[in-house]
Amino acid sequence: MEYRQLGRSGLRVSALTLGTMTFGGRGGFTAVGATDVEGARRQVDMSLDAGVNLIDTADVYSGGLAEEITGEVIKGRRDSLLVSTKVRMAMGDGPNDAGLSRQHVIAGCEASLRRLGTDRIDIYHVHEWDGQTRLEETLSALNALVSAGKVRYLAASNYAGWQLMKALAVADSHGLEARDAEYELVPLAVDQGLGILVWSPLAGGLLSGKYRRGSSPSGQTRQLSGEWHEPPVRDREKLYDSIEVLIDVAAAHGASPAQVALGWLLGRPAVTSLIIGARTDEQLRDNLGAASLSLTADERGPGQGQRPGPGLPVLAPARHGPRPPRPGRPRAARAAPSGLKTRAAATRWMNHAEPRDAGTTAGSGGRPIPATRNAAGTSLAPC
């Protein structure tokens, strides 16, 4: 297992992270999975044996039951692993049972600590933007939790680029150590020294290779069956094209399509770890195998032979359609970056045609890389 530095922090996390959204199966989360305590214990054992050192959960998963199960199965080995959880979503019907107010952030943290049976949370995420609470209040509450020793590192999930930069700017202006926000633009993450934790890297199972054009299994993935809508599929034909490339590359390596999709994401700029979750032990075992898969530069596609570091190019996301010329000024032609023949190819290289883009696979034998929209989510953790 490879261990990567999380952003500019000193924390090192495994390239694969165990996700727990499948733990519990209470309420609407039955569509995701219903792993009980013994099943969760097996999955945690398998993950730790494979070198995974981070378990990711959230207070809202099965209404807190996923945290309770996680807490039960990590008893006696808490000091040998890292735990990540989240706060923001509704945990009750009261007026202060949701959001990122000081009240809910601190109460949510205390409740998560009780359910997890631990005295600290290693990585604490704000789970989504709260437009009704001033950032100063949220960041002050988070900083208080860090100062109290209840939280070690901060992060944010499902933030748009402007939300992330606004949070970072407020943290800077107030001298807070809350350099932790989440999600959206990889160039922003590289520039700001953020590490990306990718959630749903297989798009809810769509990229497992089982779901092909005209020949999906009878027990369809929760996404295709309409039970779950994250991530949304805007172009199903492009999805199936991407799956075919996944299958071709997997056959050349003697690997599974899921391992190729995960291996490709592990080579993306600023990506620190992929949060993998599974309904069955067999799925988890297969996903863990992605940590040892090595794709060639050609399979990763143009410019994907290595993870960018200082001095390597980072492209901006494409716009939705051409920008109209300014009145009275001719529009200048722009050359594509070296090695990329078209603007579209450059866009695929970074897979940022729009927020939440993620490439699903690598090309084979010079084939272009299809980019499936919304194949994965991300969480950004700070410096």
Question: Among candidates 311, 309, 307, 318, which has minimal Cα distance to 268?
Answer: 307
CATH fold, domain 3-205+268-293, is TIM Barrel (3.20.20)
- pLDDT tens readout for residues 284-324: 999 999 999 999 988 887 545 444 333 333 333 333 344 44
Percent of the chain with pLDDT over 90: 52
Q: Is 183 a catalytic residue?
A: no
pLDDT at 76 over 60: yes
Q: Find out whether 20 and 289 touch, Cβ atoms under 8 Å.
A: no
pTM of the model: 0.67
Sign of CA dihedral 139, 144, 145, 146: positive
pLDDT digit string (tens) for 133-171? 999 999 999 999 999 999 999 999 999 889 988 988 888
HSE (side-chain half, CA atoms, 13 Å) at 147: 10
- Bond into 317 cis (ω within 30): no
**Please, what is the end-to-end C-alpha distance for the chain in angstroms?**
23
pLDDT tens by residue, 181-196: 333 457 888 888 888 8
* Residue 85 contacts residue 116 (beta carbons within 8 Å): yes
User: Is pLDDT at 275 greater than 90 in this prediction?
Assistant: yes
What is the arithmetic mean of pLDDT over 321-341?
A: 41
**Catalytic, out of 3, 61, 124, 240:** 61
* Interval 81-110 mean pLDDT: 97
